[in-house]
Amino acid sequence: ARRPGDAVAMTEIMVDAGKAVTVADSAQRVAPLRPAELAAATAWTQGMIQFDAVPLAQAVREIGRYTPVSFVIDDAQLASLPVTGYFRTGDIDGLVDALQANFPIEVRREGDRVHLGGRPAR
């Protein structure tokens, strides 16, 4: 059995344009991308990022790759909220505005950290 840190043999995989590769411990799979998946995967080349029902935790992790601001999800129930939208990379204000307009999310900023928490019921 393989243990964490064990060396892994490298395998060459040819991936044509419009396809994606998924690599797991014991298998690789190359599959064509749907037009929406292709658009989302290449949006960064135009300074944009696209999400299609992506869990909030994954969306803020991806946005965080393009900015020094880090996101902290203070309410674990928010992590799985599906986020859909087209955002400019690094546009923290645009993302925060969209989240507050569409979800019961309270945003608190502390320097280079953005905290996302549940909004109290009214």
| pLDDT tens track for 41-96 | 667 777 788 888 999 999 999 888 888 999 999 999 999 999 988 888 888 888 88
SS3 19: strand
> What does the pLDDT average to over 28-37?
75
pTM score, whole prediction: 0.66
Distances (CA, A) of 40 to 5, 10, 110: 32, 28, 30
Q: What does the alpha-carbon distance between residue 116 and residue 76 come to, in Å, rounded to a whole number?
A: 10
Identify whether the C-beta of residue 94 lies closer than 8 Å to the C-beta of residue 87.
yes
Count of Cβ atoms closer than 10 Å to residue 60 Cβ: 23
- What DSSP designation does 100 have? H
Residue 91: what pLDDT? 84
Residue 81: what pLDDT? 93
Q: Average pLDDT, whole number, for the chain?
A: 81
The one-letter amino acid code at 112 reads D
